[in-house]
Structure 1
Amino acid sequence: MPTMWKQQLLEDGADPCAADDKGRTALHFASCNGNDQIVKLLLDHGADPNQRDGLGNTPLHLAACTNHVPVITTLLRGGARVDALDRAGRTSLHLAKSKLNILQEGHAQCLETVRLEVKQIIHMLREYLNRLGRHEQREQLDDLCTHLQMTTTKEQVDEVTDLLASFTSLSLQMQSMEKR
């Protein structure tokens, strides 16, 4: 269904929080499928970014599990809780670290693809830390982003990925210490 029709349905009063028999909403499906435009549209019309499906997943977890980093950023900006846990007790920060681990395993991808993925993760983490009020850490991310933009080889991008993975691990440690 084209976006225009979906927008018309929402403007005509369709409930953006309506769920199927498994508790999944349109926002769950759009997040899982990586459709950032539909996610924005649903959020603009009152969809709940923290609504859980029958298995306890929020749209944020589904976007993270399917590696749709731009959707994760949109959901965070739309009010998704940064501390929401999935069924395995993970936050979106844990899922970002998993994505970095996959990138570090170094499957042969072109330089631009890896650079784009790392940049998307930096943007997501920046939004995440912004929501937590950790502005000093956001400056470190800005430095990593600047460093990433100056990379010209896969090895240099891998260095940034390693630094970002260390940064993410440190953020997770800080998060667990704060919960004590």
Structure 2
Amino acid sequence: MEGGGGAAAAPDAGPGPGPEPEPEPGTGLALGAVTGAPLGCLHVLWQREEPAGKIPARRLRRAARLHRRLGPTGKESHALKRLREAANSNDLDTVQQLLEDGTDPCAADDKGRTALHFASCNGNDHIVQLLLDHGADPNQRDGLGNTPLHLAACTNHVPVITTLLRGGARVDALDRAGRTPLHLAKSKLNILQEGLSHSLEAVRLEVKQIIQMLREYLERLGRHEQKEQLDDLCSRLQMTSTKEQVDEVTDLLASFTSLSLQMQKMEKR
């Protein structure tokens, strides 16, 4: 996956390691242009000892940032590249070994993409969770402003979306084109409404995945009433037997998503 492009392409195109340059991602990354606490309190907090066991992800990220300022050695640079390649090729064992060896999960390539970006685009929720556990930043942006959540959204990887949201990913993060992951879900609906897919089952599955994706967003935002409306749409989708019926649900979902985007915009004012 380690190739050019931004999250915007995935709605248009739907969605292994190798020699230089690093491997291209799926087509989900192909086209980027489309579519305070008092100081005294902080001092006390810093002096507290962390409980024995797992080190908090925020501490791991802070330590990694300090280390990155010094610049990696040749050996470390090779390990960083291997980590991204392993995440891109779904090599869970190698990812785990490199992380246990102390490889920085937030290190990016020359296009700003981290191992978490690759794993998110590929839909590997096990690697995504592993990276988050070792301090990967769920809101780190690549060169096009895409967070891992943008990439998961435009490739319809619902388990990854759930994992990222629970790991602290922001649903209102903007890419360089000013789009949130919710905008990308709307773009996918636009593609479906154009009728580019001829398989009824494929369209039904796409709509179902977008409903699940939106449900996760709304739960994160605390919009429980809207979440119930999505549940009704999901039930209605399950009862469809013709493309016309699926198209009707898709239209309702598109209207629902547009309303959600408008509400999100109003809340920011």
For normalisation by structure 1, the TM-score amounts to 0.87
Identify the structure with the greater helix proportion.
Answer: 1
CA contact 2:197–2:203 (8 Å) conserved in 1:
no
Deviation at 1:137, TM superposition (A): 0.3
CA contact 2:152–2:160 (8 Å) conserved in 1:
yes
CA contact 2:125–2:160 (8 Å) conserved in 1:
yes
Q: Deviations over 1:76-109 (max 9, x none)?
A: 2332101100000011111111100100111233
- Give the direction of change, closer, same or farther, for the CA distance of 1:175–1:31 in structure 2 (3 Å limit): same
Quick one: distance in 2 between partners of 1:141 and 1:68?
A: 18
- What is the match of residue 77 of structure 1? 166
CA contact 1:73–1:123 (8 Å) conserved in 2:
no
CA contact 1:30–1:39 (8 Å) conserved in 2:
yes
Runs of 4+ in 1 over 6 A off after TM superposition: none
In structure 2, stretches of 5+ residues that fail to align are 1-71, 74-95
Quick one: distance in 2 between partners of 1:32 and 1:18?
A: 17
Deviation at 1:68, TM superposition (A): 4.2
- Give the direction of change, closer, same or farther, for the CA distance of 1:154–1:40 in structure 2 (3 Å limit): farther
Of 77-86 and 138-147, deviating more is 77-86
Of 103-112 and 120-129, deviating more is 103-112
- What is the match of residue 16 of structure 1? 105
1:51 equivalenced with 2:106 (yes/no):
no
CA contact 1:144–1:160 (8 Å) conserved in 2:
yes
CA contact 1:23–1:53 (8 Å) conserved in 2:
yes
- What is the match of residue 216 of structure 2? 127
What's the secondary structure of 1:73's corresponding residue? helix
- What is the match of residue 100 of structure 1? 189
Q: Deviations over 1:101-158 (max 9, x none)?
A: 1001112331211111111101110010111110110000011111111111211111
For normalisation by structure 2, the TM-score amounts to 0.60
> Higher Cα Rg: structure 1 or 2?
2
Deviation at 1:178, TM superposition (A): 1.6
Task: Number of aligned residue pairs: give it.
Answer: 176
Identity of aligned residues (%): 91
CA contact 1:77–1:127 (8 Å) conserved in 2:
no
- Give the direction of change, closer, same or farther, for the CA distance of 1:141–1:78 in structure 2 (3 Å limit): same
